[in-house]
Chain A
Amino acid sequence: MAVVALQQKTRAAADLARRNVIEVKDLSLVFQTSDGPVNALSNIDLEVEAGEFVSFIGPSGCGKTTLLRVIADLEQPTSGAITVNGMSPSEAREKRAYGYVFQAAALYPWRTISGNISLPLEVMGISKEERRQRIARNLELVNLSGFEKKFPWQLSGGMQQRASIARALSFDPDLLLMDEPFGALDEIVRDHLNEQLLKLWAKTQKTVIFVTHSIPEAVFLSTKIVVMSPRPGRIHEIIDCDLGAERPLDIRETPKFLEIAHRVREGLRHGHSYDEVHA
């Protein structure tokens, strides 16, 4: 008991030292479409601490991808405040604060795998020798060593997505934004990549924001799950997911895992029925 208490104490101290990587306050985004305004995001409040793994989950149209794109400065909020590393998203983007992994690998077909990983480094003006080292290091990180000279279209979908993760990591950002990166892959590949992603996260200590619509995926990966609901896109509930650092695949059969998954599902259902009542 005493050991546990001590552990909790040190953890609390570490938590105090933690800083917020992302702070969102009362943020809204309205898209003007030909059918009239669409409330993509409505009154979002969110804080993400350094080293956290946060999942955005919700049905389509709940604004989870839009929120991620606002953080990445790919969309502009209509109102509210947001900071990334204490800066505006656009400053953070210019400072290359984050790596972004898209739904598709989006590798350039005219570049080899190593050429693709080299792309952000070239844009950022990193020397050739340094580029070479980083390419080798990051390909090893995603288990793609030996595929440097291959072209993207010669690789499977899972390998392409791993290469795109290596590309996002190549310039060593502290923040990784992932938009349903494994959505197009089959479940077996997905499980495997989820495991690898967890190991990567443990190894690199990065802050990860992960958009998904899979409940098991969210529970398995995250330290915090943001449940969102549509029309207008908003945060329904934030669920802590304290399964610990060690997460083998079969943790998904434990009662604790199932309990959290149940809470997420309840949250999603509640958010959805709310929507139907008001529709």
Chain B
Amino acid sequence: MKRSPLAILSLLLALGGLILPAGGDGGVLAQMAPTVIFVAAAVAVFVARSTFSLVALLLLVHVGAFMLLGMLSSFAAAPPLLGYWCMVVAAWLLAWLAVQRLAEFTVTSRQLQKLVNLALPLLFGAWLLILWELVVRGFGVPTILLPPPSMIASRIAASVPTLWADFQQTYLKAALAGYAMGCGAGFVAAIIVDRVPFLRNGLLPIGNLVAALPVVGIAPIMVMWFGSYWQSKAAVVVIMTFFPMLVNTVAGLAASGAMERDLMRTYGSSYWQTLVKLRLPAAMPFIFNALKINSTLALIGAIVAEFFGSPIVGMGFRISAEVGRMNVDMVWAEIFVAALAGSLSYGLITLVERAVTFWHPSYRT
């Protein structure tokens, strides 16, 4: 069996963890962690690859990781010593190795394959958080620079009503309304531009100009026009999302082939029949492209616009206010909510896209 250098290195580091002092209070966790990590490394190096060894490795490395996390609270007086960091790096390498083996793992059942495909990004994300926590707290990084994930999590748990109110204000009202109006207007404008050729030369450059306007310039103006409540933020989002939809839909409407259009012509098809039966379906990949770009732009626009005047609720308002009060954990909590909302909406649009453009070469099965 070929031993991977990753496994051998982790075994050496785990050995370091066994021998070198880790610091802290020398409690139960401190006594057990080096052994668990050493056993995990031994499994990685010496046990032949099998489902069993993979499961054992995954279990051991995560038990080890949680012991390392548990030990953090004992470093209040003095920072951890070299032995501790040996274990951290060993556990990280082992987790890396486990994920790598999991990715190479061949499963026959389709359900199980789905589970593995889901587990990979989850493990990846979990280890990002684990290392963040270990490094920030282990090295005693000031929380104002970077709070540990545990602190952000407890802040989120403690401020659910505030976060929900902000989310409602910024996402459910401003971003969604602006997104719907901006995308809808862009789509309708694209159909008009396509139908009236001179507009293509007249309107598109103006649209280009609007797209180049900076949010920080538009937002205060929109606040003056529409007041400081969510309508002004929605207006900013409309301006930001209009142009990507316009340009993409115009390109999409031109995407159908000459032969396909000639075909409709031989049927004596009307403009609207050709639009509905050929050109819009062919434009769908482009339209969904715009919908995805805009889902990100809408959230950014709504948050940034709140910096320029808003009621005392909203994600952007909260971020700017809490930064001023040095409550960085609350800022991170809002960032987390924004990231979660952004990825979920993006994911949702991608799902719909797959259902609608299943025929596109990039999705065909």
Residues on B with beta carbons closer than 8 Å to the beta carbon of A31 = none
Docked pose: A266 CA to B1 CA in angstroms:
73
Max chain A Cβ within 10 angstroms of own Cβ: one of B263, B281, B361: B263
Q: Are A109 and B359 in contact (CB under 8 A)?
A: yes
- Which of A95, A106, A109 is in CB contact (< 8 Å) with B263? A106
Tell me how far the C-beta of B344 lies from the nearest C-beta in chain A, rounded to whole angstroms: 27
- Is B49 positioned at the interface, with any CB of A under 8 Å from its CB? no
| Chain A residues closer than 8 Å to B300, beta-carbon distance | none
Q: Does A159 contact B (CB under 8 A)?
A: no
Select the residue from B262, B266, B357 with max chain A CB neighbours within 10 A.
B266
Given known pairs A100-B263, A151-B359, the reply for A106 and B268 (CB within 8 Å) is no
Partner of A104, one of B259, B281, B284: B259
User: Could you say which interface size class chain B belongs to?
Assistant: 20 to 34
Residue of B nearest to A168 (CB): B266
Q: Is the CB of A74 within 8 A of B265?
A: yes
Q: Mark A79-108, 1 if CB is under 8 A from B, else 0.
A: 000000000000001111011101110101
* A110 neighbours in B (Cβ, 8 Å): 281, 284, 357-359
Contact B267 A96 (CB under 8 A): yes
Contacts of B266 in A (CB 8 A): 72, 74, 93, 98-100
For B281, list chain A residues within 8 Å (CB): 108, 110
Q: Are A119 and B277 within 8 A (Cβ)?
A: yes
Judge if A200 is at the interface, Cβ distance under 8 Å: no
Given A74-B262, A108-B281, A153-B364, CB of A123 within 8 Å of CB of B269: yes
Is A184 close to B, CB under 8 A?
Answer: no
* Between-chain CB contacts (< 8 Å), 29 pairs: A72-B266, A93-B265, A94-B268, A96-B267, A96-B268, A98-B266, A100-B262, A100-B263, A100-B266, A102-B262, A102-B263, A104-B259, A106-B260, A108-B260, A109-B360, A110-B281, A110-B284, A110-B357, A110-B358, A110-B359, A119-B267, A119-B277, A120-B267, A123-B264, A123-B267, A123-B269, A123-B273, A151-B359, A153-B359
> Top 9 closest A-B pairs, CB basis?
A109-B359, A110-B359, A100-B266, A123-B267, A106-B259, A120-B267, A94-B268, A123-B269, A110-B281
